[in-house]
Amino acid sequence: MRLGFDIDGVVGDFVSLLSRKLKSKGYNVLEENYDRRYEGWSKEVGLTRPNFLKIISKVLNELNVNDMGLLDRRIPDYFSKMRARGNKIFFITHREKGIYDQTFKWLESHEIYHDGLYLVGDKKEVFKKLDLDFYVDDDVFELIHNDGSSVAKNVFLFGHSYNERDNINKVFSWEEIYNKIVILENEKKVF
């Protein structure tokens, strides 16, 4: 099968890295209060959202991909098993193209191997090309095309506190992701 994964918030623990970095600069934010628009964190640090966004964009520029941990330490093992059974693995992320090498090396440093890494502004074009059987993202808008169709044959939102209101099929752990893929593989063998 052709399997696709977002990186930040699915494979890598982006929120933890960002909150650590903010704490090191004296902004005490709790990971569980993270939301994509940074509204919770703005309140926590007592700044208006526009002022806090300026700090965030500075911190984002300084972030080193290599400092980011995995969401689950078993991830490399899951990927190696999936590849050993002949699945193709693709990573599709919104990261800036300038950090392609850094991102490639980060995956490699965790012994995560793949068949394609895409750093793109518009993921939808890549989805059309890749024709994926399975895709996981932590952003609901990346799972559905404008016409309402799914970007892959099976799509799942990786559930976090910041997307709990989004009403779509969710997975909450890597064990769940892996088990779903095994089930799909078995279904394919039957037909």
Closest CA to 140 of 13, 1, 10, 2: 10
CB closer to Mg ion, 13 vs 138: 138
- Please, are residues 83 and 113 in contact by the beta-carbon 8 Å criterion? yes
Smallest distance from the beta carbon of 14 to Mg ion, in angstroms?
A: 7
Could you tell me whether strands 170-171 and 116-119 are parallel, antiparallel, or unpaired per DSSP bridges? unpaired
Kindly state whether residue 9 participates in binding Mg ion, applying the rule CB under 5 A.
Answer: yes
Pattern 86-125, binding to Mg ion, x per CB under 5 A? ----------------------------------------
Q: Is the dihedral of CA 164, 168, 174, 176 positive or negative?
A: positive
Q: Which residue matches tokens 């078995």?
A: 186
Kindly state whether residue 6 participates in binding Mg ion, applying the rule CB under 5 A.
Answer: yes
Task: Count other C-beta atoms under 10 Å from residue 87's C-beta.
Answer: 18
Q: Which residue matches tokens 């699945």?
A: 87
List strands edge to edge, sheet with 134-137.
116-119, 88-93, 2-5, 134-137, 154-158, 170-171
Select the span of 37-45, 124-132, 135-143, 172-180 touching Mg ion (CB under 5 A).
135-143
Q: For residue 45, which phi and psi values (nearest 5 degrees)?
A: -90, 0
Smallest distance from the beta carbon of 9 to Mg ion, in angstroms?
A: 4
Kindly state whether residue 142 participates in binding Mg ion, applying the rule CB under 5 A.
Answer: no
Residues that bind Mg ion (rule: CB under 5 A) add up to a total of 4
Please identify which residue in 8, 143, 156, 177 interacts with Mg ion, judged by CB under 5 A.
Answer: 8
Select the span of 4-12, 27-35, 165-173, 174-182 touching Mg ion (CB under 5 A).
4-12
Smallest distance from the beta carbon of 103 to Mg ion, in angstroms?
A: 13
CB closer to Mg ion, 8 vs 13: 8
Positions that interact with Mg ion (CB under 5 A): 6, 8-9, 138
